[in-house]
Chains A and B, each alone.
Chain A
Amino acid sequence: MLSRRSAQLAYRLLTSTSTYRPALQPRLPVQQSGRLISHSTVDPAEVRKFQALASKWWDERGEFGALHAMNDLRVPFIRDNLLSVHSARQMGSPLSGLRVLDVGCGGGLLTEPLARLGADVLGIDPVQDSVRIAELHLSHDPALCGRVRYRACSLEELADEDEQEEEGFHAVVASEVLEHLADLETFIQCCHHVLKPGGSLFVTTINRTQMSYILGIIAAEQVLRIVPRGTHDWEKFISPVELETLLESTGFSVECIRGMLYNPVSGAWSWQQSTAINYALHALKRREEPQSDRVESESEDEAASRSTA
């Protein structure tokens, strides 16, 4: 079997997005509430490394360059899938009137474009420094200030709170987050909890395959040395099939899955058929309760979501 450490590096080339949060978050006891516990299980070395890089979030040609470039795929993906469910309210603001939650927002790289398209976005991230950087960047743009807010917290904390805004979110975006969690099931359940019925879940993450391991190890670590050691945990990666099963059992119906490919030479992402490395996924929260008779409600819901799409 592949050694854990070497496998970690397998995905670095194509996932420089998550390069700086890995060892930190897997140890977060996601199922327990309260940040005090999470702090004590966090590796201080990883936290320091991440804090040092916090200022680099908005440097488009810096360490987070690939994440900036990924917006070229993920923003249209989110926008078009949301538009197919909710028609555009206003020209120039296709997502106006929609409430979106960006989980693991980091410096706000994806939060701001979604807000520019008119959505009201809440960005959350457990790392305080990232949230600070995100707020600083946001503060200069008065047009966005009214539509974006940030909180340094985890998803479970958000889900636990009494919802002041009872209706829930129209969409939850978890981009480059799933591969860092300790407890994926609880995370998905929290996503389900905060979403409105019929709401969308958008995920971009990395597959657990030999292909991505080989590319990541050989290209990223040994040959190009693009990323530092120990940033990813290959064991935590999830294949689309596993994810789909988990989602379906939690009350989601998966609408589409698309493969993504990063070209390190051009620094650009593109869609591809194969989901062997990176992929994006869109799922809808089924309108009925997941505990009810799943066979009937699934087909009913598929018909309902197809008719609303």
Chain B
Amino acid sequence: MLSLGRIRLAAAAGRPILSGTGRGCARGFSSSELEEEPGRAESDVYDIVISGGGMVGTAMACSLGFDPHLQGRKILLLEAGPKKQMDKAPEVFSTRVSSISPGSATLLSGLGAWDHIVKLRCKPYQKMQVWDACSDALITFDKENLQDEMAYVVENDVIVAALTKQLQTLSDQVEVQYRTRVVKYTWPRPYQVADSIPWVQVTLASGQTLQTKLLIGADGPNSMVRREAGIPTVKWNYDQSAVVAVLHLSEPTENNVAWQRFLPTGPIAMLPLSDTESSLVWSTSHQHAEELLQMDEESFVDAINSAFWSNENQSELVEAAGSLFRTALTILMPNGTSTRQLPPSVAGIGPKSRVMFPLGMGHASEYIRHRVALIGDAAHRVHPLAGQGANLGFGDVASLTQVLSQAAFNGKDLGAMQHLLEYETDRQRHNLPMMAAIDLMKRLYSTNAAPMVLLRTLGLQATNALPPIKEQIIAYASK
């Protein structure tokens, strides 16, 4: 790589110039390499190594590569899987999709990846309806006119492929190694002690060891970086699994609405993929999830339709109280109530597209250590009910890039705690309230005990009647 050549050149030039004590650059490396140029592959010192090439890791690599103040820095992305390329979207929709907020879309567009995404496949939606199974309460979110997009449903593979394509244009700045697994991390001492190496050492499965001034952990909810760094994580399992599938609708429709209904067992959501297909995310107990997976297609489709349409969970008390409250609201705020619409009915599912995965919540108590930063699911893992997981990760990318860019322009050591702390504070301030809200929602809607149902019914109806609150919610989720 070009950058390798630069290092060798710099090292070779460095040695003869040093006078006085006569010590050379090679002194810092292991004794067996003293005689050789420090620029050898085994002891290459990278400025930044990103571990994990998923959506967030690849976005981070692109973001750093495009940043003007970070030009000339050695950046490396390590990904255990193969390179994901996509010239055109595959016929079959993938089951793993994300709801991309306008804020994330702006980031992706700044990286030049949004154009690729739009060309491949992406479905904007303008409206979201969220309602309860245990009552008639509902809340709808929509932009003023149905022109503006609220968010976009994009398959995860499409996002990664688009970012990979952009990354290829950065081959001078960013090196990528696919099918590369890390087996060990070695952490540096907080400050220089004798001859110890001050960088993070990354040992690969191939036996090669790299050194880096900053390690960015983007390796998902079971992050090895986080684990090995000993960063304590607050986490719990929800005793829920999500069943995802691609649904074929009974008839083509404009399909620009996202639907989510809170059942006592968990929320069921339908996100539009195209005029004829939608994506299902059904969070429910492990047992029920397995049952759903075992069912034949017809029963599964019936289960989905009934989950969205049936009213069997409603008790009379709640129904009465709810409709009373709604009447009151109609008088107070004539525009504050919405009529409940029904989601499109499902006729079939995509072939072999039913999958389930366990759900949990996790939050790393620290996002950073000396020379380490966590982004994406490695730092925070949320319930999919709000569709925010990917967006929080992209927010991390934007924040960390900005912090590193400024640090580089000030000549700072990129792994120094001072600016990494700024990143952590900024993101925790944003992420924690969001995660708390999602967790609260999940717990609130996990029961069909009357008092809780009543509370959330009235709460939901009231919130629906207050546009300013709804606008705040949308604004916060769109960042």
The docked-state distance in angstroms from the alpha carbon of A142 to that of B46 is: 10
Q: Give the distance to chain A from B6, nearest Cβ to Cβ, in Å.
A: 8
Closest 4 pairs (CB-CB, A-B): A92-B71, A113-B411, A146-B10, A145-B14
Please state if A146 and B411 are interface contacts (CB–CB under 8 Å): no
- Return the CB mask of A118-137 against B: 1 if under 8 Å, else 0: 10000000001001100111
- Return the CB mask of A37-60 against B: 1 if under 8 Å, else 0: 000000000000000000000111
- B45's partner among A72, A79, A138, A143 (CB-CB below 8 A) is A143
Q: Give the distance to chain B from A210, nearest Cβ to Cβ, in Å.
A: 34
Asked if A94 is at the interface (CB within 8 A of a chain B CB), the reply is: yes
Please state if A75 and B23 are interface contacts (CB–CB under 8 Å): no
Asked if A116 is at the interface (CB within 8 A of a chain B CB), the reply is: yes
Q: Give the distance to chain A from B135, nearest Cβ to Cβ, in Å.
A: 52
Q: List 14 A-B contacts (CB under 8 A).
A: A71-B411, A79-B411, A92-B71, A92-B73, A92-B408, A112-B411, A128-B21, A139-B26, A139-B28, A142-B39, A145-B11, A146-B10, A146-B11, A151-B20
- A139's partner among B24, B69, B411 (CB-CB below 8 A) is B24
Contact A116:B411 (CB < 8 A) given known A136-B27, A147-B10: yes
Give the residues in chain A near B198, CB-CB below 8 Å.
140
Asked if A284 is at the interface (CB within 8 A of a chain B CB), the reply is: no
Asked if B381 is at the interface (CB within 8 A of a chain A CB), the reply is: no
Please state if A142 and B411 are interface contacts (CB–CB under 8 Å): no
- Chain A's interface size range is 35 or more
Contact A59:B72 (CB < 8 A) given known A113-B410, A146-B14, A151-B19: no
Please state if B21 and A131 are interface contacts (CB–CB under 8 Å): yes
Asked if B421 is at the interface (CB within 8 A of a chain A CB), the reply is: no
Asked if B38 is at the interface (CB within 8 A of a chain A CB), the reply is: yes
Give the residues in chain B near A75, CB-CB below 8 Å.
410-411
Asked if B192 is at the interface (CB within 8 A of a chain A CB), the reply is: yes
Asked if B143 is at the interface (CB within 8 A of a chain A CB), the reply is: no
**Complex interface residues of chain B between 409 and 444 (CB less than 8 A to chain A):** 409-413, 416-417
**Complex interface residues of chain B between 168 and 217 (CB less than 8 A to chain A):** 191-192, 195, 197-199, 213
Contact A114:B411 (CB < 8 A) given known A135-B18, A146-B14, A152-B21: yes
Asked if A202 is at the interface (CB within 8 A of a chain B CB), the reply is: no
Contact A92:B72 (CB < 8 A) given known A116-B411, A151-B19: yes
Asked if B450 is at the interface (CB within 8 A of a chain A CB), the reply is: no
Q: Give the distance to chain B from A147, nearest Cβ to Cβ, in Å.
A: 7
Asked if B243 is at the interface (CB within 8 A of a chain A CB), the reply is: no
Give the residues in chain B near A149, CB-CB below 8 Å.
14, 17-19
Asked if B25 is at the interface (CB within 8 A of a chain A CB), the reply is: yes
Please state if B25 and A142 are interface contacts (CB–CB under 8 Å): yes
- Return the CB mask of B110-129 against A: 1 if under 8 Å, else 0: 00000000000000000000
Give the residues in chain A near B14, CB-CB below 8 Å.
142, 145-146, 149
The docked-state distance in angstroms from the alpha carbon of A143 to that of B18 is: 15
Interface centre among A62, A131, A136, A153 (most CB of B within 10 A): A136
The docked-state distance in angstroms from the alpha carbon of A141 to that of B29 is: 10
| Residue in chain A with minimal CB distance to B68 | A91
Asked if A234 is at the interface (CB within 8 A of a chain B CB), the reply is: no
Contact A93:B21 (CB < 8 A) given known A72-B410, A117-B411, A145-B10: no
The docked-state distance in angstroms from the alpha carbon of A141 to that of B12 is: 13
Please state if B70 and A92 are interface contacts (CB–CB under 8 Å): yes
Please state if A135 and B19 are interface contacts (CB–CB under 8 Å): no
The docked-state distance in angstroms from the alpha carbon of A75 to that of B25 is: 25
- A90's partner among B15, B27, B71 (CB-CB below 8 A) is B71
Asked if B477 is at the interface (CB within 8 A of a chain A CB), the reply is: no
**Complex interface residues of chain A between 140 and 171 (CB less than 8 A to chain B):** 140-143, 145-147, 149-153
**Complex interface residues of chain B between 70 and 120 (CB less than 8 A to chain A):** 70-74
- B191's partner among A58, A143, A145 (CB-CB below 8 A) is A58
Please state if B199 and A140 are interface contacts (CB–CB under 8 Å): yes
Asked if A76 is at the interface (CB within 8 A of a chain B CB), the reply is: yes
Contact A143:B71 (CB < 8 A) given known A135-B18, A151-B19: no
Please state if A136 and B71 are interface contacts (CB–CB under 8 Å): no
| Residue in chain B with minimal CB distance to A76 | B410
Q: Give the distance to chain B from A269, nearest Cβ to Cβ, in Å.
A: 13
Give the residues in chain A near B192, CB-CB below 8 Å.
58, 136-137, 140
Asked if B333 is at the interface (CB within 8 A of a chain A CB), the reply is: no
| Residue in chain A with minimal CB distance to B213 | A141
Interface centre among A60, A75, A92, A117 (most CB of B within 10 A): A92
The docked-state distance in angstroms from the alpha carbon of A143 to that of B19 is: 18
Give the residues in chain A near B70, CB-CB below 8 Å.
92
Please state if A140 and B28 are interface contacts (CB–CB under 8 Å): yes
Q: Give the distance to chain B from A34, nearest Cβ to Cβ, in Å.
A: 16
Give the residues in chain A near B199, CB-CB below 8 Å.
140
20 new A-B contacts at CB < 8 Å, known A140-B45, A149-B17, A153-B20: A58-B192, A59-B191, A60-B416, A71-B411, A75-B410, A79-B410, A90-B71, A92-B72, A92-B408, A93-B71, A112-B413, A116-B408, A117-B411, A136-B27, A141-B28, A143-B10, A143-B45, A143-B74, A145-B25, A151-B19
Asked if B9 is at the interface (CB within 8 A of a chain A CB), the reply is: yes
The docked-state distance in angstroms from the alpha carbon of A297 to that of B390 is: 64
Asked if B398 is at the interface (CB within 8 A of a chain A CB), the reply is: no
- A116's partner among B25, B412, B417 (CB-CB below 8 A) is B412
Asked if B47 is at the interface (CB within 8 A of a chain A CB), the reply is: yes
The docked-state distance in angstroms from the alpha carbon of A59 to that of B26 is: 23
The docked-state distance in angstroms from the alpha carbon of A94 to that of B69 is: 9
Interface centre among A92, A118, A145, A151 (most CB of B within 10 A): A145
Q: Give the distance to chain A from B22, nearest Cβ to Cβ, in Å.
A: 10
Q: Give the distance to chain A from B398, nearest Cβ to Cβ, in Å.
A: 20
| Residue in chain A with minimal CB distance to B192 | A58
**Complex interface residues of chain A between 86 and 124 (CB less than 8 A to chain B):** 90-94, 112-118
Q: Give the distance to chain A from B222, nearest Cβ to Cβ, in Å.
A: 32
Contact A135:B21 (CB < 8 A) given known A76-B410, A116-B411, A146-B13: yes
Please state if B20 and A152 are interface contacts (CB–CB under 8 Å): yes
Q: Give the distance to chain A from B25, nearest Cβ to Cβ, in Å.
A: 4
The docked-state distance in angstroms from the alpha carbon of A259 to that of B242 is: 60
The docked-state distance in angstroms from the alpha carbon of A117 to that of B406 is: 12
Q: Give the distance to chain B from A294, nearest Cβ to Cβ, in Å.
A: 36
Q: Give the distance to chain A from B337, nearest Cβ to Cβ, in Å.
A: 52
Contact A142:B409 (CB < 8 A) given known A59-B191, A91-B71, A92-B72: no
Q: Give the distance to chain B from A262, nearest Cβ to Cβ, in Å.
A: 16
Give the residues in chain A near B26, CB-CB below 8 Å.
139
- Return the CB mask of A16-37 against B: 1 if under 8 Å, else 0: 0000000000000000000000
